[in-house]
Structure 1
Amino acid sequence: MLALAALLFVAAPPSSQDAAAAFMRETYAVTEYAAARHDLDGDGAEEVLVRATNRDRCGSGGCALFVLSPKGDGFSVVMEATVVNPPIRVLNTTTNGWKDLAVTVSGGGVTRPYEARLRFDGGRYPANPTVPPAEALAGPAPGGQILMPAPEEPPTP
């Protein structure tokens, strides 16, 4: 019975996170990352958020964040943002049918860390949380769920 269970496990299709890891490795040469899944557009399929941590994808202001949306056998990239730091949250608000995201902006000359709201424009999320159309928030946006905590924070259930 145990051998059959092991065989079924090996034969199971890869998860969306495994497929996203392969996509990131093949498309962007990203091999070091943190990832989280969440249905951002309410279609029942989870998007994959990938925060690349390879040295060539990070700088003094943070690292690259990608949002991959399942499309056929692969993914479409609906965000490729720079200078992103955790915590990364999905908010309770939506814009153009997609959940708003909140990311932390710090380092790289930013003297006071702050949270920026990223809204979906109908095709993509903003590529840089430090300039419009990203919105610098005076304080943390209310509500939402932490998808990628800061290193000292536990994940939100």
Structure 2
Amino acid sequence: MSRRVVATAALLLAAATAHAELPVEVQRDLWKDYGSPRVATRYREARVDLDGNGREDIVILLNGKRACSRAGCPTLVYAPEGKDGWRRVATIAATQAPIGVAAARNAGWRDLVVHVRGSRTASPIVELSFDGGTYPANAAAKNPFVKPTEQVGDVLIGATDAANAGEMLTLPPETGIADTVDAESVKATRKISARHGKAAAKGPDAPSFNCGLAMANSEKLICDTPELAALDREVAAELAKMLKGQPEDRETELNSEQHIWTTTRNACATSADAVGCVRTAYRQRLVALKIQQGLATVSSTRTYDCKNQRTPLVAAFYAETDPKAVALTWGKSKAVLYADGARYADGLFEFREDNGKVVSKWHRLTLNCTLRP
């Protein structure tokens, strides 16, 4: 490697670490999912304009037992929203440093480059493309938006063997909860946290999360709307049942999936009918969780052969759920879609059937299929 390349990488790494403190909204969001007064979580961050809007986004790599699994640690992406707000764009499980950014773009966002352990690809380095809403939830899983590469791109967060690298994740002081992890203050912190959590969860109308830490407008709406708070408790209960007894890697994957769904739910804040949008998001999530646990009744199952594809598309229909749904399996890829008029849809997936002929959109690929006799 030339001295010029080394110098450039060093400058990029220095730029990635020499930043002001994380925005309070971001700190609160991180603490809600990864913070603990008993277990230290550290983070390293870099700021870069990923979507080309002239404003810097934040890329964060976490480290610590509460955040990481044997497969790696999560990388999170935050984008500025409005004048001073922030929203979580992506939670990517099973990543390792160095973290880079490529020149290639998809849906307007630059590709991220991460290292992985135990990847299903041939390379320990993978390039993650934006799918129009987020980056892949698991860097080590098979996904059309994950591809092997040999180029790290511009390094944002460099590799290190130091266990204490990065900043300590702490809770912003204005929330009123202690943010220390040293042994002397753990006992006091537990009392304060328990008291605050109890106050926040008091009453039959409280959601599963601590309203005192609510960051997103959708979360505040849920705290103020008993119907939505009840749906939130129901989703949290189903997720807890599903997580029980799962191996660590699967638990990480499920939590990442939940974080991605939460990002979608929080986007409802900009909807003309925010309450209706959040309600729909919760009902769809409940259906997906029950299907994954085998608790929903399959009305019928059909297999379709698709043009120019060796792998058939299998559809399991659920006519008794609310909303009605279809669980699609195409090879190792799975998706749950929800009834929307004459079609089923969810984000980048779509399924429409007419007299045994199916058109299904699978990320960027369109499948044309016919019902197998």
TM-score range, shorter chain: 0.7 to 0.9
- Is the counterpart of residue 87 in structure 1 residue 87 in structure 2? no
Q: 1:25 to 1:124 in 2, by over 3 A?
A: closer
Measured in 2, the distance between the counterparts of 1:120 and 1:25 equals 21
Measured in 1, the distance between the counterparts of 2:68 and 2:31 equals 18
Q: 1:124 — aligned with what?
A: 134
- Is the counterpart of residue 19 in structure 1 residue 27 in structure 2? no
Cα contact 1:91–1:99 (8 A) shared by 2: yes
Q: 1:8 — aligned with what?
A: none
1:48-85 C-alpha deviation (Å, 9 max, x unpaired): 01111131111111101100001133221111011100
Q: 1:20 to 1:52 in 2, by over 3 A?
A: farther
Measured in 1, the distance between the counterparts of 2:114 and 2:145 equals 10
Structural RMSD (CA): 2.6
Residue 94 of structure 1, CA deviation: 0.6
- Is the counterpart of residue 145 in structure 1 residue 154 in structure 2? yes
Residue 22 of structure 1, CA deviation: 1.9
Unaligned runs of at least 5 residues, structure 1: 1-13, 153-157
Does the residue aligned with 2:66 lie in a helix, a strand or coil?
helix
Residue 113 of structure 1, CA deviation: 5.9
Residue 47 of structure 1, CA deviation: 0.6
The one of 13, 26, 34 aligned to 1:29? 34
TM-score when normalising by structure 2: 0.33
Measured in 2, the distance between the counterparts of 1:129 and 1:25 equals 20
Higher strand share: 1
Measured in 2, the distance between the counterparts of 1:20 and 1:37 equals 16
Q: 1:147 to 1:20 in 2, by over 3 A?
A: farther
Residue 140 of structure 1, CA deviation: 1.3
Measured in 2, the distance between the counterparts of 1:18 and 1:79 equals 17
Cα contact 2:123–2:150 (8 A) shared by 1: no
- Is the counterpart of residue 54 in structure 1 residue 64 in structure 2? yes
Measured in 1, the distance between the counterparts of 2:70 and 2:61 equals 15
Q: 2:112 — aligned with what?
A: 101
Residue 29 of structure 1, CA deviation: 3.4
Cα contact 1:62–1:83 (8 A) shared by 2: yes
Q: 1:155 — aligned with what?
A: none
Residue 32 of structure 1, CA deviation: 1.5
Greater relative CO (CA pairs within 8 A, separation 6+): 1
Of all paired residues, the percent bearing the same amino acid is 31
Task: Report the residue type matching 1:69 in the other structure.
Answer: A
